[in-house]
Structure 1
Amino acid sequence: MAARAVGVARAQGWAGVVAGTRKTTPGFRLAEKYALGVGGADPHRGGLGGLMMLKDNHRALAAAAGGLEQMILGVRRAGGFTRRLEVECSSAEEALVAAGAGADIVLLDNLAPQELHAAAAKVKAAHPGVTVEASGGIVLETLPQFLGPHIDVVSMGCLTHSAPALDFALRVLEP
């Protein structure tokens, strides 16, 4: 699945990163992350500790923290200067706030392709050093619609949670 997705991206002339997500089969995370790498995709993060990430459920707490910008600044202080911070955003406006507050990566989640590309262009125009990641329901058939000049990473959960299982067996033969 990873090799197919990377092949689709390269056939479109897109040089960005195709990545999996953290969504893996319980007990098989290492094998599935390894498979992503073998297929040419990035394994994203190995677990919750691999990257500071503010997801949509954290955004609900942002109001109590004084807004998204204050929450990001607090997470930055708590995480230290050596950790990268990704913020999941559902609009161009959120992405611009996140990038302005110090996010290293803005994840534009569940946006339609046209909306995604417009949001990514706005983020890159204002914050060219920020990594823009697209995610949310992207599958091999729709992948080309999400590739574009302002998208650095496309992450796809289907590379692990929907990859077909390999049927194999081990037989021990007598010499």
Structure 2
Amino acid sequence: MTIQFTQPQETAAKALIKLSLEEDLNQIGDLTCQALINESDQAEIQIVARQTGILAGAPIASLVFSELDSPVHCSHHLSDGDTLQPGSIIATYSGPLASILIGERTILNFMTHLSGVASLTAKYVEAIQGTNATILDTRKTLPGWRVLEKYAVTAGGGTNHRMGLYDGVLIKDNHLAAWASRNSEPSIAAAIRHARESVPDGKNIEVEVDRLDQLADALQATPEIVLLDNMSPELLRQAIQMRNQQSPSTLLEASGGITLESIRSIADTGVERISIGAITHSAIALDLGFDWKRRT
């Protein structure tokens, strides 16, 4: 599966690249390059994978060199979503040596992190092959990085949950506690009905529960999605039976403490959705290298 940046993703990347280069150069520049590299020096380097994984962030280098206003030529051999093996050549860059060295760390910071997110996502996706479940991300993202991290999730074969608080309703325990404290009808179903009357048409209503009695309450209002928090596989099976009887159109989403070791047993229960914060907040950077090829 090959994907590319959309305009919002490119805009997010440019803002983060600008900040990253400002952190590195601080209106002074690269003192090492100023000391050792001539302005006329030209070179060619390659980005090479050091381990198996999924590529994400390939467009970053071109955006970095554009921000540096440098005529570095970028030749991409692989695209986001492609599988990497140790030794896979991702891209070749040729042009002013100083610009290549200045951009190196920024490029690798982006690509190793995003490829790590994509690679971890792909492991979860592979673990549930043959089931009815879909892997989703969460809002557990680094501040400022959400658009790019969620892009990396899709590169790994996952699906994006809501992007933020603005594009979907998710009624969680604290919302329900606040609702119950000021309403004569404190049921979960009543909260769902009230939300449906208040939000724009076309927005899904999702509610989080952690007990079967709460699920039974919620299903009375036919929410589009119910998030089943930290339920065991046995409880999930009971939840599916209850849903099938009371509100067949409602999708069920498992979440909470799910690992690569446990996800198959979760998916085998029949839930349609599994959301995992770890694919963004705990992804380990994929090892990629900037390999010197030659001076040109």
Normalised to the residue count of structure 2, the TM-score between the two structures is 0.55
Indicate if the aligned counterparts of 2:240 and 2:271 stay in contact, CA closer than 8 A.
Answer: yes
Hey, what does 1:2 align to over in structure 2?
121
Q: Shift in Å at residue 105 of structure 1?
A: 0.3
Higher deviation after alignment, 51-60 or 93-102 = 93-102
| CA apart distance, 1:8 | 0.4
Q: CA deviation at 1:80?
A: 3.4
Does the Cα contact within 8 Å between 1:99 and 1:105 map onto a contact in 2?
no
Three-state SS of the structure 1 residue aligned to 2:194 is helix
Once the two structures are superposed, what CA deviation does each residue of 1:96-129 show, in whole Å capped at 9, x if it has no partner?
A: 2212213110000111221122112211222111
AA partner of residue 203 (structure 2): R
Unaligned runs of 5+ residues in structure 1 are none
Within 5 Å, which residues of 2 pair with 1:1-175? Answer: 1-10=120-129, 13-63=130-180, 64-65=182-183, 66-67=185-186, 68-168=188-288, 175=296
- 1: CA distance, partners of 2:136 / 2:220: 25
> Could you say what the CA RMSD is over the residues aligned between the two structures, in angstroms?
1.9
| SS class of match (1:69) | helix
Q: Give the aligned residue type for 1:4.
A: K
**Quick check: 2:233–2:269 contact (8 Å CA) kept in 1?**
no
**Uncovered stretches (5+) of structure 2, i.e. residues with no partner:** 1-119
Q: Is the 8 A contact 1:91 1:119 kept in 2?
A: no
Deviation string 1:2-55 (CA, Å, 9 cap, x unpaired) is 111010000xx2032111111111121111101110111111111111211101
Q: Quote how far apart the aligned CAs of 1:130 are.
A: 0.5
Q: Which secondary structure state, in structure 1, belongs to the residue aligned with residue 261 of structure 2?
A: coil
Identity of aligned residues (%): 35
Paired AA for residue 147 in structure 2: L
Spell out, residue by residue over 1:62-120, the C-alpha distance to the aligned partner (whole angstroms, 9 max, x if none).
32232122221111100133211000011122122212213110000111221122112
Return the alpha-carbon distance in structure 2 between the equivalents of residues 49 and 91 of structure 1. 27
Equivalent residues of 2:222, 2:249 under 8 A apart: no
Structure 1 distance, partners of 2:196, 2:149, is 30
User: 3-state DSSP class of the match of 2:128?
Assistant: helix
TM-score by length of 1: 0.90
Q: Which amino acid aligns with 2:259?
A: V
Letter in structure 2 aligned against 1:49? Y
Distance 1:34 1:124 in 2: 33
Distance 1:166 1:27 in 2: 20
Q: Distance in 2 between matches of 1:3 and 1:128?
A: 29
Structure number with larger C-alpha Rg:
2
